[in-house]
Amino acid sequence: MIYLLAAAMLFGLAQADTALLKTAEGVTTDEIAAHIRFLSDDLVEGRGIGARGGYLAELYIETMYRHYGLEPAFGESYRQEVTLQGATPDPETVLEFIAPGGEKSSFDFGEDFVAVYPFPRSEKTLEAELVYVGYGIVAPGYEWDDYKDTDVRGKIVVIQVNEPRPDLPELFEGRTLTYFGRWIYKYQEAARQGAAGALLIHSTEDAGYSWSVVRNSWAGEAFFVPGTPDILPLRSWINGETALKLMAMAGKDLAAQRAAAQERSFQPVPLGVRVRITADNKYRKVISHNIVGVARGKAPAQSAKAVVFSAHHDHFGIGEGEGDQIYNGALDNGSALAALLAMARVCGENQGVLSHDVVFLACAAEEELMLGSDYFVRNPSLPAERIVANLNFEMTNVWGEADDMLAIGAQYSDLQELIEGVAAGHGMTVSPESAPEQGYFYRSDQVSFARAGIPATWIDLGEKLRGKPEGYGKKLRDDYRANCYHQVTDEFDPEWELTGTQQIIRLCTELLLAIDRRAEPIRWKEHSPFRR
């Protein structure tokens, strides 16, 4: 009897493998191209948050879910409403530093600083004392505390971007940027400390991008979710020259202060200078949606564990000015949505064969600090403890098949070994990130799941494109980031092979099967900052 049961179980596994893999093999490049073409068409107007084009994209994704037979995740609805507060900075915002003797220095919005209040204020002017807090990091796991119990309530903190001493891996993770180096963390920590706001000191060397990127990113409307904890009342950046002037007014040397902040012994420095910011921002309420469907497995819906596939559906909409101003977002993130929808078809046509449910989450507002995925993990369609893993698609390969995979963040959990096993079965390797200092794990929706304690990774192909010269894949990626990323030139290219996207679908189907067969929970590694 035991042998019969074992044989039946193996037969069931073989059926699941055969059914899903056969469907995955049937995903065509034409199918993938059709999704990208529609989602990045001018008609969809750049999929702006709360805009007509964004709602068209939501409707398209929901329609595909229905066509593939996915169940709605929220009762009878595929939509999870995400209410956003839009805040548009006042271009006439004035920033002044006031020295102890009363002398003042004024600075220009955009050129010298940027600033936004997430929510309306009763008064247009905010004035507070400034305290320099080094890198603004409190990380007990790394034995690091920049605040040292200093009372910064009602004050505005001045913070360096990135992390101290990337040349010393024993401090954090060397060149690999951790969450503590991300600017969003620094704002969140300042809020937890009770600060009234924060000024981040920009340098191209530390941030990895120029001041123009900061200026362009923060000059327009920003979005926030009302009621979310750790939202700082004032978020601001100042450029290096402005920081030098601030420190001079305080009688301090910026280089010396930054050098002191490289050490664990650093102590916060009250600057004796006050800052005054006057602004008349504009605010509005915007409704967006996470679009969520479920392919059911064998277990009862009320107890089933689940794997979540995700990709964001938003982009930057329509800009201002003459000429082409539509941010089509073909690669970012039309290609990833095509992968998500292809996986939805694979699983939707094979429901009831896996042990796990498979949830498909098309996230809202990823371009606004992953607000949609963050909202989902705070308000999930099933208990969070039943989500075993998140596999996220972001800017998925469109250039051709590769001999390596990329699994950003997988090294923090057992997902690494599972992915390596799938890759090895195809004679492939799993490559490390080519630019770990950019902190890509913290720049897409997988980080929302990780922060909630759910093992997560960003899955893609690597840069070793089959049949291409060494370095060709990297050149394509670099060219895209330089000439198309977050620009109106990110449009569908009929020359894209899309065989790499097909390859991702097949590999992720095998990875899903490996997760489904795994008897043990997927756990975080000891060194992971996200262990439950």
pLDDT band at 107 (very low <50, low <70, confident <90, very high): very high
503 assigned to some structural domain:
yes
Task: Name the strand (E) or helix (H) holding 522.
Answer: none
Residue that is last in its domain, among 280, 303, 330: 280
* 350 and 482 both lie in a single domain: yes
Region 293-306: mean pLDDT is 95
Looking up residue 113, the CATH number of its domain turns out to be 3.50.30.30
pLDDT band at 4 (very low <50, low <70, confident <90, very high): very low
pLDDT band at 1 (very low <50, low <70, confident <90, very high): very low
At residue 342, the 3 state secondary structure works out as: helix
Region 452-470: mean pLDDT is 96
Q: Which of 287, 310, 285 is nearest to 61 (CA)?
A: 310
Region 517-530: mean pLDDT is 90
Region 264-290: mean pLDDT is 97
* 335 and 369 both lie in a single domain: yes
Mean pLDDT of all residues belonging to the chain = 93
User: Cα–Cα distance between 428 and 405 in angstroms, integer?
Assistant: 7
528 assigned to some structural domain:
no
Q: What is the DSSP letter of 356?
A: S
* 393 and 469 both lie in a single domain: yes
7 assigned to some structural domain:
no
Residue that is last in its domain, among 240, 258, 280: 280
Asked if pLDDT for residue 100 goes beyond 70, the answer is: yes
386 assigned to some structural domain:
yes
* 134 and 261 both lie in a single domain: yes
Asked if pLDDT for residue 328 goes beyond 90, the answer is: yes
Asked if pLDDT for residue 230 goes beyond 90, the answer is: no
Looking up residue 428, the CATH number of its domain turns out to be 3.40.630.10
Structure tokens at 306: 């689940």
pLDDT value, residue 32 = 98
pLDDT value, residue 16 = 66
* 362 and 379 both lie in a single domain: yes
Structure tokens at 502: 């097909």
11 assigned to some structural domain:
no
CB 317 within 8 A of CB 374: no
pLDDT value, residue 206 = 85
* Structural domain for 68, as ranges: 16-84+284-517
Asked if pLDDT for residue 419 goes beyond 60, the answer is: yes
User: Cα–Cα distance between 440 and 394 in angstroms, integer?
Assistant: 10
Residue type, position 179, single letter: Y
Region 111-140: mean pLDDT is 95
User: Cα–Cα distance between 207 and 161 in angstroms, integer?
Assistant: 6
Q: Over pLDDT 90: what percentage of the chain?
A: 83
509 assigned to some structural domain:
yes
pLDDT value, residue 434 = 81
Q: What is the total count of domains within the chain?
A: 2
524 assigned to some structural domain:
no
Supply the DSSP string of 380-415, one letter for each residue. -SS-GGGEEEEEE--S---S--BSEEEEETGGGBTH
If one compares 141 and 109, the residue with the highest pLDDT of the two is 109
Residue with tokens 């280089």: 255
Residue that is last in its domain, among 221, 250, 280: 280
pLDDT value, residue 210 = 87
Region 1-25: mean pLDDT is 62
* 356 and 419 both lie in a single domain: yes
* 352 and 439 both lie in a single domain: yes
Structure tokens at 507: 């590999």
* 143 and 54 both lie in a single domain: no
Q: Name the least confident of 125-129, 230-234, 499-503.
A: 230-234
Supply the DSSP string of 20-69, one letter for each residue. HHHHHHT--HHHHHHHHHHHTSGGGGGGBTTSHHHHHHHHHHHHHHHHHT
pLDDT value, residue 15 = 64
* 227 and 142 both lie in a single domain: yes
pLDDT value, residue 17 = 80
* 463 and 392 both lie in a single domain: yes
Asked if pLDDT for residue 38 goes beyond 90, the answer is: yes
pLDDT value, residue 492 = 98
* 104 and 166 both lie in a single domain: yes
pLDDT band at 436 (very low <50, low <70, confident <90, very high): confident
Asked if pLDDT for residue 244 goes beyond 70, the answer is: yes
Give 176-227 pLDDT, tens digit per residue.
888 899 999 999 999 999 999 999 999 988 887 889 889 888 888 899 999 8
Asked if pLDDT for residue 11 goes beyond 50, the answer is: no
Region 269-287: mean pLDDT is 96
Asked if pLDDT for residue 411 goes beyond 50, the answer is: yes
Asked if pLDDT for residue 21 goes beyond 80, the answer is: yes
User: Cα–Cα distance between 455 and 466 in angstroms, integer?
Assistant: 30
pLDDT value, residue 14 = 64
pLDDT value, residue 3 = 37
pLDDT value, residue 530 = 80
Asked if pLDDT for residue 66 goes beyond 90, the answer is: yes
* 38 and 163 both lie in a single domain: no
CA 516 to each of CA 286, 350, 467, 506, 507: distance values in angstroms, whole numbers, following the listed order: 38, 14, 33, 15, 14
4 assigned to some structural domain:
no
User: Cα–Cα distance between 46 and 41 in angstroms, integer?
Assistant: 8
